[in-house]
Structure 1
């Protein structure tokens, strides 16, 4: 398996802080974006990203590059942490759902764009978790269907089914918002 991060991961496993800093600089934006899309909460997503890197640092010596690429391993850690948080949310009912905030929006962006982005974020949060995971990995993390299926531990056909159901559900949710 050809992993462009293999040498960097070996340096992290050797306990080199500079290597870990470089790893964080390379991987943080995508892992943070993944967590924000899965959780709909920037603060929680930052916690997940931080915990992901702590786990990578602690378990770098046990990483086996012949079994998976670093990106796959890091995404799996982040997704597992997201699912842990989503499970805890279900166990603790809230009086009011939190406002979904898209951290990518800046004050100078057009109001209609901001409104659309918030609608899509809310719609993503309403999807079944596995459908949301598939959509986030393929459309927001730019993974191929094969990469996303491997990460989710499903067949490509199963992933495509999740994507199809997720797109239909998103369309129905967004259409319902218009009425």
Structure 2
């Protein structure tokens, strides 16, 4: 049997191959999306260990249900992040948030000598931002994650979350406005664009409508 170079074929071909019993193809899916899912989980939890647990469980569930997934014109990452979101909710019910709160609290860095005050304040700001993001709706969180943590365009985000560009812009606007209400004034830029929020990459300028 010839060896298939998984890196050179389409993701949905990997799905089809996995459905046909080629579980090495699933390893190709894992390699393509493991970092995306781990980053998504970390953005949700703020805790690396919990994010790794979520990512592992996500791919386990994905493998179990790979037979039911179909190519509907979306990137496979959309299906995987939906699973990751469900895993996050399930783990939250089991109490992971209490553990994450202990391991992710940035004030622990204060006890380490030699840490500049600016770095401690920056960590506190990031913690405030993560906490605020958890208070957004799931759709708003997913939109912000794809737009700013994964650095995707409006059109790419729309494809990932299964919405049109106008819906993504509306979600983004409501999410940033809500963050402006939740965050301390020092973390929000005067024009409420979000560009001054510490811990997030600068928000891209709004795309012109043509």
TM-score, reference length from structure 1: 0.71
Give the paired residue count.
167
- Do structure 1's residue 7 and structure 2's residue 16 form an aligned pair? no
How far does residue 152 in structure 1 lie from its aligned partner after superposition? 4.1
Give 1 or 2: higher helix fraction: 1
Task: Please tell me whether the aligned partners of residues 100 and 122 of structure 1 are also in contact (alpha carbons under 8 angstroms).
Answer: no
Q: Say which SS state the counterpart of residue 104 (structure 2) adopts.
A: coil
> Can you give the 5+ residue segments of structure 2 that lack an aligned partner in the other structure?
1-8, 107-114, 189-210
1:122 alignment partner in structure 2 = 128
> Can you give the 5+ residue segments of structure 1 that lack an aligned partner in the other structure?
103-109
How far does residue 157 in structure 1 lie from its aligned partner after superposition? 3.3
CA RMSD of aligned residues (A): 3.5
How far does residue 166 in structure 1 lie from its aligned partner after superposition? 2.6
Name the structure, 1 or 2, with higher relative contact order (CA <8 Å, separation 6+). 1
The match for 1:24 among 30, 33, 50 is: 30
- Do structure 1's residue 162 and structure 2's residue 162 form an aligned pair? no
The match for 2:152 among 140, 143, 151 is: 143
**CA–CA separation in structure 1 for the residues paired with 2:97 and 2:84:** 23
Question: For the structure 1 residues 26 and 154, does the alpha-carbon distance in structure 2 shift closer, same or farther, using more than 3 Å as the test?
Answer: closer
Q: Which has the larger radius of gyration?
A: 2
**CA–CA separation in structure 1 for the residues paired with 2:155 and 2:43:** 20
Question: For the structure 1 residues 97 and 4, does the alpha-carbon distance in structure 2 shift closer, same or farther, using more than 3 Å as the test?
Answer: same
Q: Say which SS state the counterpart of residue 15 (structure 1) adopts.
A: coil
How far does residue 31 in structure 1 lie from its aligned partner after superposition? 0.6
Task: Please tell me whether the aligned partners of residues 123 and 174 of structure 1 are also in contact (alpha carbons under 8 angstroms).
Answer: no
TM-score, reference length from structure 2: 0.62
